[in-house]
């Protein structure tokens, strides 16, 4: 069973605020791992239906550069939203980078859009109706 995915962050508190305030996740726990000098935060949707998102911060990491889209190893996270237009408008107000405006993947198909988190991790928003 798939349990979680980990995404590195350059600022743990900023990322916690982004994922809780804008995407509705709930902070489950935070902890420090002295063995590898990491700070972790675990988040999940409030109904605990989806996998857990682990945010990982390494204080010793000096360079934090997201590769250009074509050169990335990790592609994206995905979140289901009730109303993609409303969500995109809220993201705009918060100055979130919107990389792809809402579009349908096929005629009459699912409506999706893409944004970036504060560190440039690509996030797909999905509206199913």
Domain ranges of the chain: 1-59, 74-129
* 3-state secondary structure (DSSP) of residue 11: coil
Give per-residue pLDDT as tens, 61-120: 888 888 787 888 788 999 999 999 999 999 999 999 999 999 999 998 899 999 999 999
* 3-state secondary structure (DSSP) of residue 88: helix
Catalytic residue check, 101? no
Domains 1-59 and 74-129 share a fold: yes
Q: Which fold has domain 1-59?
A: 2,3-Dihydroxybiphenyl 1,2-Dioxygenase; domain 1 (3.10.180)
pLDDT-based confidence at 129, cuts 50/70/90? Answer: confident
Given the residues 39, 101, 124, 127, the one annotated as active site:
124
Percent of the chain surpassing pLDDT 70: 100
User: Residue 52's pLDDT is what?
Assistant: 96
Whole-model pTM: value is: 0.91
CA distance linking residue 104 with residue 113, whole number of Å? 9
Q: Which of 80, 81, 16 is nearest to 54 (CA)?
A: 16
Lookup: tokens for 18: 């982004």
């Amino acid at each position: 069973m798939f349990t979680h995915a980990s995404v590195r962050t350059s600022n743990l508190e900023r990322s916690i605020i982004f994922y809780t305030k804008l995407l509705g996740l709930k902070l489950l726990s935070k902890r420090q791992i002295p063995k590898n000098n990491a700070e972790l935060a675990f988040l999940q949707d409030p109904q605990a239906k989806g996998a857990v998102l682990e945010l990982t911060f390494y204080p010793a990491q000096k360079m934090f550069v997201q590769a250009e889209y074509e050169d990335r190893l990790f592609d994206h996270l995905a979140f289901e939203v009730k109303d993609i237009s409303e969500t995109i408008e809220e993201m705009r107000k918060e100055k979130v980078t919107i990389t792809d405006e809402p579009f349908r993947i096929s005629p009459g198909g699912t409506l999706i859009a893409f944004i970036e988190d504060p560190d440039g991790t690509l996030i797909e928003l999905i509206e199913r109706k």
